[in-house]
Amino acid sequence: MFSPQPRGARQSLVRLFAEARRGGRDGLVVSGHHNTNRIAHLRQPLAFLLGAESGKVLAKFRTPLPTVEVVPRIWRRESEVLRAVAAHVGDVPRCLADFDTWSLHGYLDGRALADENPTGQLGSARLLELAEFFAGLAGVPAGELPPLPEDWPREGDSRGFLAWLARFAEQDVHQSNRPRFGRLFDAVGIPSDAVDRFMNAVPRLTERPFSLLHTDVHRANVVVVSGPEAEHLSVIDWELALYGDPLHDLATHLVRMNYDKTEQDLMTLMWTDAMRRAGHEDMTDGMDADLPVYLGFEYAQSVFPDVMRAALALPGHPGEADLTEAAERVARALRRAREPLGLTEKVPDIQEVSEALLKWHAEDGTTH
């Protein structure tokens, strides 16, 4: 008599056929800072094992990239976060299989805002939709999320949460990368006590209830999806989710979306209104004083990854155009961090930054 395959056997088969499909040559390969993704249709027998129709379902075969770690990750499995989010926030990617070292996700077929509108204004309708997304995220029950690290700040301790982020920036980003990038940091004028400078200037923060945070809602992670009646926005890539002060999520969003001043102000007002309408008015307490602090932190901590990414992006034999492009990225990061870090020295000009990058590149033996 036929007996169903045990769950472990089915999972082994899913992994076997998913590995084969991941290594295929068809589909589209898209890479970002953290992952490389092969977008391809599910085929038999993998489609059968996942309960999908062969050739009809697009999937994302998601493989982490070896990279400089510059962002905190408190939950190893994105799938556990997605499971909690899906029940409360609508259209998010579904994790089809999690193999620990890589994962398989349903693919939301749409257009990334980064492709459709890389720098321009979004318009009030889309701003409102994003504001309501954040309000929905604030409603995800903490009890449905994966366990938090043992050293996590107590509920509502906004100052403790910011201090945790600052320790990560100092210990895991700055100090851990100083052996390789320290001379470059010094050459472009980043003080060795940059994070301490910022934290020493932080005033008392208002305590606010914590919530689930995405922390990386930028144009490449917002997808315009077609629906039966109208288009809607969906937010992808939840691997950097945190649990903490919701003003941090708003601040990272405002900075990374590259809004102009008008839409940044409008988005802030819409976020505040959406949170209050959703019953989360206490999450907006003290935001007039505290949002600038979180914005400043985003600019301050970004100088480390921005400088490292600019340096690492240089080709083996960089030309003048390569160096100028990288130097402009670094100089922009330095200008934005100038006030939060209390920098008194003049920001190096493009030529000075280019020379510093070229010297670092020549001395670094791992980029060639």
Judge whether 217 lies within some domain.
yes
d(CA 332, CA 317): 24
Considering the domain boundaries, does residue 39 fall inside one?
yes
The region of weakest confidence among 259-263, 287-291, 344-348 is 344-348
Q: What is the CATH number of the domain that holds 54?
A: 3.30.200
pLDDT at 368 over 60: no
Q: Which of 60, 81, 110 is the last residue of a domain?
A: 110
Per-residue buried b or exposed e for 103-139, using 16+ beta carbons within 10 Å of the residue's own CB: bbbbbbebebbeeebeeeebeeebbbbbbbbbbbbbe
Residue 185 has pLDDT above 80, yes or no: yes
Answer yes or no: do 250 and 305 share one domain. Answer: yes
320 pLDDT more than 80: yes
- pLDDT tens column, 18-76: 888 888 888 888 877 777 888 888 989 998 888 888 777 888 888 887 767 788 999 98
Q: Which two tokens stand for residue 80?
A: 């556990």
User: 55, 88, 110: which is the final residue of a domain?
Assistant: 110
Count of CB atoms situated within 10 Å of the CB of 192: 13
pLDDT at 6: 65
> Does 255 or 101 have the greater pLDDT score?
255
**Is residue 278 a part of any domain in this protein?**
yes
The verdict on 196 and 321 lying in the same domain is yes
Buried b (16+ CB within 10 A) or exposed e, 307-330: bbbbbbebeeebeeebbbebbebb
Instruction: Assess contact for 57 and 106: CB atoms under 8 A.
Output: yes
In a domain, 2, yes or no: no
pLDDT of residue 37: 85
Residues paired with 243 in a beta bridge: 212
Edge-to-edge strand ranges of the sheet holding 103-106? 28-31, 35-41, 58-64, 103-106, 95-98
Q: Any idea what the Cα angle at residue 339 is, between residues 113 and 162, rounded to 5°?
A: 70
| Same domain flag for 208 and 97 | no
- Percentage with pLDDT > 70 across the chain: 96
pTM: 0.90
pLDDT in tens, 152-171: 999 999 999 999 999 999 99
Q: How confident is the model at residue 11 (pLDDT cuts 50, 70, 90)?
A: confident
pLDDT at 102: 87
**Pick from 64, 81, 110: which residue ends a domain?**
110
Q: Is residue 368 part of a domain?
A: no
51, 10 Cβ separation under 8 angstroms: no
pLDDT at residue 301 is higher than 80 = yes
The closest of 314, 336, 316 to 327, measured between CA atoms, is: 314
Do 81 and 151 fall into the same domain?
no
Q: Are residues 319 and 178 in the same domain?
A: yes
User: Are 157 and 176 contained in the same domain?
Assistant: yes
pLDDT of residue 178: 95
With beta carbons less than 8 A apart as the criterion, state whether 17 and 49 touch.
yes
Q: At what angle do helices 158-167 and 287-312 cross, to 10 degrees?
A: 10
Average pLDDT, the chain: 91
Q: What is the pLDDT of residue 35?
A: 79
Same domain, 59 and 132: no
Q: Is residue 1 part of a domain?
A: no
Q: What is the pLDDT of residue 141?
A: 96
Prior bond of 45 cis (ω within 30°): yes
Mean per-residue pLDDT, 331-344: 91
239 and 149 share one domain: yes
- Is 203 a member of any domain? yes
Spatial distance between the Cα atoms of 235 and 91, rounded to a whole number of angstroms? 8
Backbone angles phi, psi at 30, to 5 degrees: -125, 130
Is residue 301 packed enough to be buried (19+ CB in 10 Å), middle (13-18) or exposed (0-12)?
buried
> Does 165 lie in the same domain as 50?
no
Q: What is the pLDDT of residue 367?
A: 47
Instruction: Please count the structural domains in the chain.
Output: 2
Q: Are residues 49 and 182 in the same domain?
A: no
Q: 7-16, 266-275, 306-315: which range is least confident on average?
A: 7-16
- Judge whether 241 and 213 are in contact, CB under 8 Å: yes
Q: Is residue 213 part of a domain?
A: yes
Average pLDDT for residues 121-147, to the nearest whole number?
96
Domain encompassing residue 229 = 111-363
User: Are both 202 and 331 inside the same structural domain?
Assistant: yes
Q: Per-residue pLDDT for 7 more than 70?
A: no
Are 104 and 136 part of one and the same domain? no
Mean pLDDT of 236-263: 96
Residue 166 belongs to a domain with what CATH number? Answer: 3.90.1200.10
